[in-house]
Structure 1
Amino acid sequence: MGKVGRLIEIVERLSEFDEYDTIYASEPWTEDSDAMVATGLDTGRSPPEAVEAGLEYFLEIHICREVIEGWLASIKEKPSLAGGLSKDYRIRHQ
């Protein structure tokens, strides 16, 4: 945690994180956005490491898991996260 990577890499590894940790990412949010997972502060503020990296609140891990599970249940073709979602997949599913 606390290490900046790509948002898609965090999504690929959601199961590795505590459900109450939070994803912070740079805007605009894309699969290539800089991102990190960190424990949110009780004050509701972003943790210092996210602020220092210029990252904004994105989603808690448990919410991200729920969103992805719901999305996957609603589509016929399961996407591959290897290398991100292909341009062809994104165009066909907009």
Structure 2
Amino acid sequence: MKLSEILLRLDAFSEEATIIAAEPWNPSSRAHVIEPPESGLVADMERDGMVYFLEIAIAREFKEDWPGEECNETFCERLIQYAINDA
């Protein structure tokens, strides 16, 4: 799954889930949502070149502050920048 597909569907995932993605992060990065308690899966994904990106709860908070209702490619880019610089 692409990172942008996950970011545009945040409400489809559990609040406790975590997003991991392949670096360098961009909308087309390979990504996966890890639902707890699948901590062993995180280690497998990290061996596959993916790293922690953000928790779904944090991404939803960012979305709540997003101006307007539409979450699009610009939203994805800004959330990626947030994850890189501020999370």
TM-score by length of 2: 0.68
Q: Secondary structure at the match of 2:16?
A: coil
The reply on whether 1:58 has 2:53 as its aligned counterpart is yes
Distance in 1 between the 2:58 and 2:41 partners?
Answer: 17
Q: Secondary structure at the match of 1:67?
A: helix
Identical pairs, percent: 36
Describe the shift of the 1:80–1:68 C-alpha distance in structure 2 as closer, same or farther (beyond 3 A): closer
Mapped contact 2:34–2:42 kept (Cα < 8 A): yes
The reply on whether 1:9 has 2:5 as its aligned counterpart is yes
Gaps of 5+ in 1: none
CA RMSD, 1 decimal:
2.7
Describe the shift of the 1:40–1:46 C-alpha distance in structure 2 as closer, same or farther (beyond 3 A): farther
Q: Which has the higher contact order (CA 8 A, sep 6+)?
A: 2
Structure with the bigger percentage of helix = 2
Distance in 2 between the 1:27 and 1:40 partners?
Answer: 22
Gaps of 5+ in 2: 79-87
* 4+ long deviations beyond 6 Å: none
Alignment partner, residue 30 of structure 1: 26
TM-score by length of 1: 0.63
Distance in 2 between the 1:60 and 1:6 partners?
Answer: 16
Distance in 2 between the 1:69 and 1:8 partners?
Answer: 17
Aligned residues: 75
Report the AA paired with residue 59 of structure 2.
C
